């Protein structure tokens, strides 16, 4: 199963990704965790050792220049990236983690050479046939505009019950539909009351697949740098239920 997690910054994308990864790994499944956020934190949230020592590939300027083989304004459209996963993946139990990061662009739709390398790398990683894949995307909608998640089985768009989040979710869903993605699901995070879910469903005019409560245990784990995914069993159970629903959709 290939799952991409998207949404506005700060709504809990990385926490949800970590919960899904942890549950899949606890089931004995091999999981490839891909952190494609421009501010990557998945390694820390998953409890990988020395997360501050991991440099995202998007920040490896010499490597990106080499692989794009730039010559003035021209660059290779199909850069070699097949050897990069072996070099930069970290392993903990049956979880493999790759921190890709994301390139910031000056203009919409810019086909910069660094993004060509990153997109080729993501496409290569997504071809893995023997692993579940959870992709923690960068905040916002740029990744969908570049079409980097069109091959996933499920796109989870994380919302919180406030208008700024709803506006971003609406844009993400519209772009996902432009890419002909069919399995688009809304997940609400930081739910304090049933009316929070009702607000999101009415605002988006579509059902919510799963709702995760506001968790003081997760908040405390984030503040102390503890492994967030193991902080609250209720959140883990919600993640199990969500994965069961996704499995039913895949059947």
pLDDT averaged over the chain? 88
Q: In the prediction, which pLDDT does 109 show?
A: 44
Task: Give the helix/strand (H/E) hosting 136.
Answer: strand 132-137
Q: In the prediction, which pLDDT does 111 show?
A: 45
Written as six digits, the tokens of 64 are 């990106």
Summarize the confidence of residues 10-33 as an average pLDDT.
95
| pTM attached to this predicted model | 0.91
Least confident range from 21-30, 41-50, 222-231: namely: 222-231
- Looking up residue 191, the CATH number of its domain turns out to be 3.40.50.300
Question: What backbone torsions phi and psi does residue 147 show, to the nearest 5 degrees?
Answer: 70, 25
Dihedral, CA atoms, 34, 129, 210, 102, nearest 10 degrees?
20
- Provide the percentage of residues in the chain whose pLDDT is more than 70: 90
**What range does the domain containing 101 cover?**
2-250
CA neighbours closer than 13 Å in the CB half-sphere of residue 206:
16
Residue 141 has pLDDT above 50, yes or no: yes
pLDDT per position as a tens digit, 53-70: 999 998 998 898 888 875
DSSP character at residue 161? S
pLDDT band at residue 75 under the 50/70/90 scheme: low
Domain count within the chain: 1
Alpha helices in 179-209 (DSSP H): 194-204
pLDDT per position as a tens digit, 205-230: 999 999 999 999 999 998 888 888 89
């Amino acid at each position: 199963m290939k799952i991409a997690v998207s949404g506005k910054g700060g709504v809990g994308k990385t926490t949800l990704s970590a919960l899904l990864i942890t549950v899949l790994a606890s089931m004995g499944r091999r999981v490839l965790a891909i952190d494609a956020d421009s501010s990557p934190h998945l390694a820390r949230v998953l409890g990988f050792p020395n997360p501050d020592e991991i440099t995202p590939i998007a920040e490896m300027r010499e490597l990106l220049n080499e692989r794009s083989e730039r010559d003035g304004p021209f660059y290779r459209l199909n850069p070699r990236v097949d050897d990069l996963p072996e070099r930069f993946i970290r392993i903990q139990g049956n979880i493999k983690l790759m921190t890709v990061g994301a390139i910031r662009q000056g203009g919409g739709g810019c086909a910069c050479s660094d993004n060509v390398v990153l997109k080729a790398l993501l496409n290569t990683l997504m071809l893995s046939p023997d692993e579940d894949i959870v992709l923690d995307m960068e905040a916002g909608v740029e990744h969908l505009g570049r079409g980097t998640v069109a091959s996933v089985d499920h796109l989870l768009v994380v919302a919180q019950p406030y208008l700024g989040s709803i506006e971003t979710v609406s844009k993400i869903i519209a772009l996902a539909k432009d890419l002909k993605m069919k399995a688009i699901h809304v997940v609400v995070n930081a739910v304090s009351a049933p009316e929070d879910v009702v607000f999101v469903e009415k605002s988006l005019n579509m059902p919510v697949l799963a709702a995760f409560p506001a968790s003081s245990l997760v908040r405390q784990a984030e503040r102390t740098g503890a492994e967030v995914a193991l902080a609250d069993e209720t959140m883990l159970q919600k993640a199990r239920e969500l994965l069961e629903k996704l499995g039913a959709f895949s059947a």
